[in-house]
Amino acid sequence: MKSINAVGIKNRKSKQETSRIGNVSSYDTDTATYNLNPPPTILAIESSCDETSVSITRGREVISLIISSQIDIHEQFGGVVPEIASRHHLEQINFVVDEAFAKANMTWDDIDVIAVTKGPGLIGALLIGIASAKAYALALNKPLIGVHHIVGHMSAVYIEHADLKPPFISFVASGGHTAIALVKSYTEYEILGSTRDDAVGEAYDKVARVIGLGYPGGPKMDKIAKKGNPQAIDFKRIMLEQGSLDFSFSGLKTQVINHLNQMRQKHIDIVAADVAASFQEAVVDVIVAKVKMSIQRTGYNKLALAGGVASNSRIRARLQQLADEMDIQIFFPSPIYCTDNAAMIGVAAYYDWISRYATKPAETARYSNATNIADMTKPANAINTNHQTSPTGKINPAGATNPDSTAKSNIENVIMGDGLDMDAYARINL
């Protein structure tokens, strides 16, 4: 098992603190959210693709984070094999949970809430995380929160930027998703544009494969592009209709393949670094143009990056340049929080949690009763990652839930969230 111990802070909570959990200590009028002091301690599980990750977080603070990556296993196949990914999640999950506790110097007694990625992702991979989270919640009688994977990615930026508050624009780019979203509050999002075909990371990975770099291609492309000439090949920038904030990258991928075929037919040597740099520049030009449009259109003055591709050095540099030119603030998560990780799920769950169960300032958030897993009435197989498309294009992972009504809820709607609207992120990327 290849694991990265990102954080390990000894920070054990006292019993006295535990008993105080749930008291709403303040109401943030800027963002219409409530703060619990101290915040609940959350154990989060992320297993949507090829990383088995478990974290312990409190508010925005990461107490421990373990990521067990399967990259080595999938490398030989040139991409993630879903069935193999699921099996490895199953083998790893309990060890990763144990490691997260060891790193935090905590036990289950210290955990107030369990959170898990509920989708989108590889269905078999998600199932392992969800089934484990349900089992822990049921056995230990802890409440359970399901988190939308992309909401998790967008929440990663809070971890290292303690002062960042919504509203802001989030540019999300991962292996499965590309979107520009308005983060209106900690729990309300609106998608301004998303990809119509390949995601940015997917395009990077596919182009890397055709130029012989192997999997995972994104970081390798980033590296060799530094040695190439971004003007060497004039790939078309696909902007779609005038004013559209959507993306399309599959045509660019075809342009690269056609270019390589032409070079081979003419017996001209292919310079992989030039192809990578020219492809990357075409991608980044489109991203910068669309992000710029979204800032101009909304008047928002803060931009955050999210998702695995947000580690890309050229994307970071060009968006930093854009932010400087437009005189807005820009926030980047560290690479460890860009890639799939449980800490982002724990942080998203925290905001979801307080928006659901802290109903009025100074009122006790009665969450221990509100979502008691022992109330479960539905069978454990009622897992549904709720991949439905809504015409509104809005994600509302929290909703305004009345704690009294959730008292009647069972594990199914706890995990799905009541009234969740999965919108543009509805696609499962298998």
Please give the residue ranges that form the binding site for Mg ion (CB under 5 A): 174, 340
For residues 303 and 234, give the distance between their C-alpha atoms in angstroms, rounded to a whole number: 29
Q: Residue 77 belongs to what H/E stretch?
A: none
Question: Interacting stretch for ligand ADP, rule CB under 6 A, among 71-79, 123-131, 267-275, 306-314?
Answer: 306-314
Does residue 346 touch ligand ADP according to CB under 6 A?
no
Question: How far, rounded to the nearest angstrom, does the alpha carbon of residue 179 sit from its chain's CA centroid?
Answer: 12
Q: How far apart are the first and last CA of the chain?
A: 24
Is residue 217 a contact residue for ligand ADP (CB under 6 A)? yes
Report if residue 421 touches ligand ADP, rule: CB under 6 A: no
Instruction: Give me the least distance between CB of 12 and ligand ADP, in Å please.
Output: 31
Q: What are the strands of the beta sheet with 188-194, ordered from one edge?
A: 329-331, 302-306, 168-173, 178-185, 188-194, 394-395
Nearer to Mg ion, 153 or 302 (CB): 153
Cβ–Cβ < 8 Å for 414, 399:
no
Nearer to ligand ADP, 344 or 365 (CB): 344
Please check whether residue 174 is in contact with residue 249, taking contact to mean a CB–CB distance below 8 angstroms: no
Say how many residues touch ligand ADP, by CB under 6 A.
Answer: 19
**CA-CA distance, 40 to 351, in Å (whole number)?**
11
Provide the mask over 21-60, with x wherever binding to ligand ADP is found by CB under 6 A and - wherever it is not. ----------------------------x-----------
> Minimum distance from CB of 151 to ligand ADP (Å)?
12
Select the residue interacting with ligand ADP from 61, 205, 281, 421 (CB under 6 A): 205
Q: In what order do the strands lie in the sheet with 144-148?
A: 2-8, 61-69, 51-58, 41-46, 113-119, 144-148
Non-local CB neighbours of 398 within 8 Å, separated by 6+ positions: 186, 187, 188, 351, 352, 355, 356, 417
33 versus 312: smaller Cβ distance to ligand ADP: 312
Amino acid letter for position 338? C
Quick one: 119 or 217, whose CB is closer to ligand ADP?
217
155 binds ligand ADP (CB under 6 A): no
Quick check: 61 binds ligand ADP (CB under 6 A)?
A: no
Provide the binding-site residues for ligand ADP, judged by CB under 6 A: 49, 174-176, 201, 204-205, 216-219, 222, 307-309, 311-312, 339-340
